[in-house]
Amino acid sequence: MIMNHLKRQPTLSLLLLGPKNSGKSELIKILKEQEGPRILHIDLGMHNTSSPALMAQQLHKQARKLPEVVGMQFLSALASQLGPVSKLYALFNSESDNTAILAAAVPGEKLVNAFMADVFPPYTATNLTAIIDAYNTILNNLPPGQTKPVIVIDEANALQLWKSKDSVALKQFLEFLKRSCKQYHTAHVILASSEFFMISWLQKQGYDANSRDDQVLGDLTSAEAFVYLCGGKVLNRWGTEEDWPGLIAQSAETLGLGVTPEDWKKVWSVCGGNIHLLKVCVGYAKQCNSWEKGVA
């Protein structure tokens, strides 16, 4: 499923949802093994990214993989574009014997360091706007047919930790992810989370369904599915309870219908714990103004 998604031109960001132990982590591990440096993996569960500066640090670390993704031909063209003042240009045009460096199939440490100095200088490591601009400099100049990097934001629900004063920066970061995939087709984006209310949160941030392909790994239990549909208390990643309004709260029509025990039995018998089917069922119930017709 995901490998086929990554073989195509980037269009929709992939939102991977699933309960704990549903295989998300294993899937991302397999992707990293198969795709190597192409996967720019930022695990928000392992690294503190609770501010724009901390997110910039992680993006800066992942940028060191880009030279291997873009390849030697691109780096040579970039060196010529940057001109004699750049460190890349100095390496590619040195009078000393750089044959081994330039003939290598994979960019070595010297080339990576020169690339970082030219495109991702130290100040970008704590400046989110600057590092997004630096990424765009590379991504927007990838030639046709070039393999596109894959930006993976693991435990994406941790983005909700950003403070209200950082709301503009958060929107900027999410717009960068969304537009890189949907508008400019320069990078694949995968968001992974075990918290199903990420769907409504992303929606509120402007990362709507037209920009995402939501995929579910594993099924919810009956109790989890009921809360997902009707609302209730859910545990976040820190083990504390939060209110989830439920899918029915997303429209006045379904909220007005309510869900009786008999309605739930019908929905569960057809949809089970499949998040996608539950979403489809809600859509049909809204159109038909009936749960019975919605699951028919």
pLDDT value at residue 117:
97
pTM of the prediction?
Answer: 0.78
pLDDT value at residue 64:
98
Q: In angstroms, rounded to a whole number, what is the distance separating the alpha carbons of residues 220 and 227?
A: 10
CB-side neighbour CA atoms (13 Å) of 103:
4
pLDDT value at residue 271:
87
Those residues whose C-beta lies under 8 Å from the C-beta of residue 191, and which sit 6 or more positions away, are 13, 14, 15, 16, 153, 156, 177, 198, 202, 212
pLDDT value at residue 293:
82
Determine if residue 286 is left, alpha or beta; phi over 0 gives left, psi from -120 to 50 gives alpha, anything else beta: alpha
Parallel/antiparallel/unpaired status of strands 241-244 and 232-235: antiparallel
**In sequence order, what DSSP letters do the residues of the chain get, joined into one string?**
-HHHHHHSPP-SEEEEE--TTSSHHHHHHHHHHHHGGGEEEEETTTS---SHHHHHHHHHHHGGGHHHHHHHHHHHHHHHHH-TTSHHHHHHT-SS--HHHHH-SS--HHHHHHHHHHHS-GGGGS-HHHHHHHHHHHHTTPPTTPPPPEEEEETGGGGGGS-GGGHHHHHHHHHHHHHHHHTS---EEEEEES-TTHHHHHHHTT--GGGEEEEE-S---HHHHHHHHH-EEEE-TTS-EEEE--GGGGSHHHHHH---HHHHHHHHHHHTT-HHHHHHHHHHHHHHT-HHHH--
pLDDT value at residue 102:
66
Where exactly are the structural domains of the chain? Answer: 2-218, 219-296
pLDDT value at residue 238:
53
pLDDT value at residue 3:
76
CATH homologous superfamily for 2-218?
P-loop containing nucleotide triphosphate hydrolases (3.40.50.300)
pLDDT tens across the length of the chain (296 residues)? 677 788 899 999 999 987 777 778 888 998 899 899 999 999 999 999 999 999 999 999 999 999 999 999 899 999 999 999 999 999 988 766 666 666 666 678 999 999 999 999 999 999 999 999 999 999 999 988 898 999 999 999 999 989 999 999 999 999 999 999 999 999 999 999 988 778 888 989 999 989 999 887 877 788 888 988 898 887 655 556 778 888 888 888 888 888 998 999 989 988 888 877 888 888 888 888 888 888 87
